Amino acid sequence: MLKTFALFALTALAEIVGCWLPWLWLRKGGSVWLLLPAAVALALFAWLLTLHPTASGRTYAAYGGVYVSAALAWLWLVDGIRPTRWDVLGVALCLAGMAAIMLGPRQA
């Protein structure tokens, strides 16, 4: 389970970086060269999703909880904005949903 969560976290980081770099280019006047590492990060994101052992739809659904968590960590660490208690509650709900999806019983 820890390995799966770590893989989700790495996947989220790749996706956020892949989206943040074009944002820097478009919104902050960054270099067009930011698009090259962005494309690499998004390709890495897609590849990492294929490494998860469960069905793709379940993987994408569960990944959403980790993505929300990573996005709020990014908000704090990169943007310098401390998440509110409502943000933390939202993350807890998302992670609870992720746990229900990943750990729930399966029919054979």
Render pLDDT for 74-89 as a digit per residue (tens, 0 to 9): 999 999 999 999 999 9
- Of 68 and 53, the structure prediction assigns the larger pLDDT to 68
Q: pLDDT higher for 19 or 65?
A: 19
Band of the pLDDT at 107, cuts 50, 70, 90? Answer: confident
Q: Is the pLDDT of residue 108 over 70?
A: no
User: Tell me, what's the pLDDT at 61?
Assistant: 83
Q: How many CA atoms lie within 13 A of 85 on its CB side?
A: 0
Sorted by where each begins, the domain ranges of the chain are 2-103
More confident site: 81 or 2: 81
